[in-house]
Amino acid sequence: MAIELFRDSKVVGVMVAQARKENVDTDVAKNAADMIRDLAADPNPHNRYTIAQLIGYAVAELMRPKTNWLDSVAEVKRVGFGEKAEFNAKQEGIRAFIQAKGATTARTKVANKRFSPETLAVSARPVIHLIELVTGQAQMADLISDAAYQMELAQYGLIQRVLHDAAAAWAAPYYATGAGVVKATLDPIIRHWMRLSGGGAPVILGDIEVIGKLSELTGFTAGTGLQQYADALIMQHNAAGYIGKYNGANVVNLVNPYVVHENKNLFDLNKLYVFPAGASVADRPLKVVFEGGVLSQENTDINDKSFEVRLDQHFGAAVVYGDYPMVSVYEDSSI
């Protein structure tokens, strides 16, 4: 009997859990493995399509943010295939005037800039021999995990470039650079967002490589050539590698996955992102859209009988803001 597969099918959940290295009940894992083995042992068009579906559904579930970077710096929308995501950037519209009593006040209205980013495709094309699935020489969970991971890396790489290319053209207090974390350059950025937030604490997000340098800037001059540091900050830095607050701002450590085959981290080590307190998600200038799920298409090579699946996800990124961007980017040029 032909197997019908859906996004919420139990076997999809099992493959996702195994790809995440989570514990799966032995009997449940065996049933899933037996199902995949049966499909691969009889590679008719429907069974090959079902395997491709399984891979596509599982990869789509795995391709969810594993880092706090995207959740912190972007407004993200998910739409169906062929749909457009519209983002609004609020501009100064309503204004107030001083005038003579009884005079007619000029009319003003709420102003918004609307924009729909174009989408691109991030693709992967894993290949496997069906006989390896039948004999257990290859694990479906490993294929799914690797494909999802590589597609995520490609997505984040493009999204990060979009933001940084735009920020490099901004002027202070929205973009600044220095050799190291320069107190005289960073502090005015923090104070700018503190004023805009009505005294609320801004947020500084960055890799441990750069936020770790903030600790050195917290000392007070106790005498010529002598810096004095609070014991609590020394202990906090020693325990975590960074301090949780700096000059009125909350400091957040960026979860920065390591890309093994490129021998580097996913996100730049030398960037600090500074956000105002209480800013809404819609105020973030980086706009990201994911269009539909992961498309899967299979093919079997007639020569070597290898089974391949093409995976595509459509997504787009753009920087859109009203009168000014609601984020500052500080770049440490010494890293």
Whether 229 is covered by a domain: the verdict is: no
- When pLDDT is averaged across residues 164-175 and rounded to a whole number, the result is 91
* Residue 302 is assigned to a structural domain of this protein: yes
pLDDT tens digits, 171-191: 999 999 999 999 999 999 999
Sign of CA dihedral 267, 248, 212, 174: positive
Tell me whether residue 232 is in a domain.
Answer: no
pLDDT of residue 221: 59
Residue 270 has pLDDT above 90, yes or no: yes
234 pLDDT band, cuts 50/70/90, is: confident
Please give the mean pLDDT across all residues of the chain.
85
90 within some domain: yes
Residue 271 covered by a domain: yes
Asked if residues 326 and 276 have their Cβ atoms less than 8 Å apart, the reply is yes
- Characterise 273 by phi-psi region: left (phi > 0), alpha (psi -120 to 50), beta (else): beta
Q: What is the pLDDT of residue 94?
A: 46
pLDDT over 80 at 219, yes or no: no
Start-end of H helices in the chain: 10-19, 26-41, 45-62, 68-73, 130-135, 140-167, 183-196, 208-211, 231-240
Is 105 inside any structural domain?
yes
Give the structural domain span for 149: 10-180+243-332
pLDDT at 220 over 70: no
In a domain, 53, yes or no: yes
* pLDDT tens digits, 106-146: 554 545 677 888 899 999 999 888 888 888 777 888 888 88
Residue 162 inside a domain? The answer is yes
Residue 84 belongs to a domain with what CATH number? 3.30.2400.10
CA dihedral 177, 180, 185, 190 (to 10 degrees): 100
The predicted model gives 66-93 an average pLDDT of 80
Q: What is the pLDDT of residue 208?
A: 93
Q: Does residue 104 register a pLDDT over 80?
A: no
- Pairing type for strands 271-275 and 203-206 reads antiparallel
Measuring CA to CA, how many Å separate 43 from each of 48, 50, 238?
6, 10, 58
Cα–Cα distance between 297 and 310 in angstroms, integer? 5
Domain count of the fold of the chain: 1
